[in-house]
């Protein structure tokens, strides 16, 4: 009663944020005394978190995940200073080394940044994702049960977001224009929503095929598969659709154990034919007038190669061009982490701008997980990002090959996580979301899982030897 009265008063005096104080205190309690549950809860909370940017004068923060992660980072660092709790094998892992290089260079380029305050805020945000999830995550996911629990929680929460989005979208007749925003407030737009739907698609299938379930669980997972595919289709996100296709292709490569040398050779041959046929390809691209605004699946996919009239494609090319020009001006240190939105406008060429171009420093990113670091942190920034991606896939795929075939359950889950990561990092060519909890929470958690599973496997192999 007292809380209700106090809450009513705070809302009346336009101080409604303080109403959330008890929830914050509850979060602190769980972070301190139920740390394991807090880590697992992040899997459920990330897809359903809400960015308060529109309510707090441009102050972007995902509630409740980012405050929880920041609190976990401080708490766990204090615990680490008191007595080391991070396993030694974590510090020796290539993924951690690659991430360490990226963070070190982010720090250096924050010092040389055109806007150091923005850059150090960017670095801090990276730290509260990476430190708790990647460095302390292996402690939580030593228990196999926690791995599956996290995956189920993340998928179920995303299914809730999909159901909400599809219901709202249906009320507008599944219109293409409405499809850009009906996932609000859980997702800013259809691109990050589509990326996350694509991300959970292999996970749901992996959980289904990982073991023989009872009839209820099996039926539930089949229903979840259907909901996910419906959500993927009505996301109207071409990159999401294509990323799932890429994941299936990687699955075939892994299953057939095709050697990297063969793949590299095929890539070189393909690049040669692409170079030799570029003029005719360019003519065909210019003939393509399909727009991304169509609701027809085939036409929408075809519009992905429309580089003459499709505003979305042209704007992406505009952002990429700006990123490259920014790199040319500051090739070593870049303009500073997190500064692309404030710097790219002056690098836009009039012939590259579109009806959706902006010069206001809003809605601005490089639309690429790789060109973003290139423009903001120079060549080494992009190479560090490539190193992270290479380390993740090399270690995860070799882990899958080494994992005992008789343990089909975990082997299937490892493969499903690899395919999910493929969907994201392929999508990362066209968009960048690793600075949001929707992508950062599952991706860094997956890295932590790979690290601890590899350590456990190595220990078993040493015992057998």
pTM: 0.89
**In which residue are the tokens 């990561």 written?**
421
In sequence order, what are the residues at sequence separation of 6 or more whose Cβ sits closer than 8 angstroms to the Cβ of residue 389? Answer: 425
Please give the structure tokens belonging to residue 57.
């004068």
Tell which residue, 236, 245, 229, 241, has the closest CA to residue 291: 236
At residue 19, the pLDDT reads 45
Q: Using CA atoms, how far apart are residues 254 and 417, in angstroms rounded to an integer?
A: 13
pLDDT score at 359: 63
Host H or E run for residue 63? strand 62-63
Q: What are phi and psi of 63, to 5 degrees?
A: -105, 135
Written as six digits, the tokens of 262 are 């063969």
82: Cβ contacts below 8 Å, ≥ 6 apart: none
Give the model's pLDDT for residue 168: 96
Query: From first to last of its 465 residues, what are the pLDDT tens digits of the chain?
Result: 454 454 444 445 455 455 455 555 555 655 665 789 999 999 999 999 998 876 666 667 899 999 999 999 999 999 999 999 999 999 999 999 999 999 999 999 999 999 999 999 999 999 999 999 999 999 999 999 999 999 999 999 999 999 999 999 999 999 988 999 999 999 999 999 999 999 999 999 999 999 999 999 999 999 999 999 999 999 999 899 999 999 999 999 999 998 877 877 877 887 777 666 655 655 555 554 554 445 554 554 454 455 555 677 788 888 999 999 999 999 999 999 999 999 998 898 887 777 777 666 555 688 899 999 999 999 999 999 999 999 999 999 999 999 999 999 999 999 999 999 999 999 999 999 999 999 999 999 999 999 999 999 999 877 766
């Amino acid at each position: 009663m007292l809380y209700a009265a106090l809450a009513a008063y705070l809302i009346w005096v336009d101080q409604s944020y303080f109403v959330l104080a008890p929830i914050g205190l509850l979060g602190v309690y769980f972070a301190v005394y139920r740390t394991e549950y807090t880590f697992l809860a992040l899997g459920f909370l990330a897809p359903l978190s809400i960015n308060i940017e529109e309510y707090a004068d441009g102050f972007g923060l995902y509630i409740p995940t980012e405050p929880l992660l920041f609190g976990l980072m401080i708490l766990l660092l204090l615990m680490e200073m008191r007595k080391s709790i991070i396993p030694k094998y974590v510090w020796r892992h290539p993924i951690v080394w690659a991430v360490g290089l990226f963070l070190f260079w982010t720090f250096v380029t924050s010092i040389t940044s055109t806007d150091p305050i923005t850059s150090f805020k960017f670095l801090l945000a990276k730290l509260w994702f990476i430190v708790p999830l990647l460095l302390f995550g292996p402690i939580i996911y030593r228990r196999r049960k926690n791995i599956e629990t996290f995956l189920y929680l993340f998928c179920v929460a995303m299914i809730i977001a999909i159901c909400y989005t599809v219901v709202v979208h249906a009320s507008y007749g599944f219109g293409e224009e409405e499809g850009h925003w009906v996932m609000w407030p859980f997702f800013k737009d259809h691109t990050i929503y589509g990326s996350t739907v694509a991300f959970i698609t292999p996970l749901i299938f992996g959980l289904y095929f990982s073991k023989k379930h009872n009839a209820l669980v099996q039926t539930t997972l089949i229903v979840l598969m259907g909901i996910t595919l419906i959500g993927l289709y009505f996301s109207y996100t071409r990159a999401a659709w294509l990323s799932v296709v890429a994941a299936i292709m990687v699955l075939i490569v892994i299953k057939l154990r095709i050697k990297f040398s063969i793949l590299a050779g095929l890539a070189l041959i393909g690049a040669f034919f692409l170079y030799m046929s570029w003029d005719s390809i360019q003519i065909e691209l210019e003939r393509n007038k399909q727009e991304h605004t169509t609701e027809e699946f085939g036409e929408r996919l075809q519009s992905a190669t429309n580089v003459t009239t499709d505003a979305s494609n042209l704007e992406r090319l505009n952002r990429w061009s700006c990123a490259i020009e920014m790199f040319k001006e500051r090739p070593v240190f870049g303009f500073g982490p997190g500064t692309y939105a404030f710097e790219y406008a002056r690098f836009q060429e009039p012939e590259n701008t579109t009806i959706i171009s902006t010069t206001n420093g809003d809605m601005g990113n490089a639309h690429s997980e790789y060109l973003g670091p290139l423009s903001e942190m120079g060549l080494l920034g992009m190479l560090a990002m490539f190193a992270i991606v290479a380390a993740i896939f090399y270690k995860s795929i070799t882990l899958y090959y080494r994992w005992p075939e008789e343990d089909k359950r975990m082997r299937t889950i490892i493969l499903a996580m690899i395919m999910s990561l493929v969907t994201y990092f392929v999508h990362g060519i066209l968009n960048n979301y690793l600075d949001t909890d929707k992508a950062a929470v599952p991706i860094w958690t997956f890295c932590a899982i790979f690290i601890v599973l590899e350590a456990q496997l190595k220990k078993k192999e040493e015992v057998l030897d």
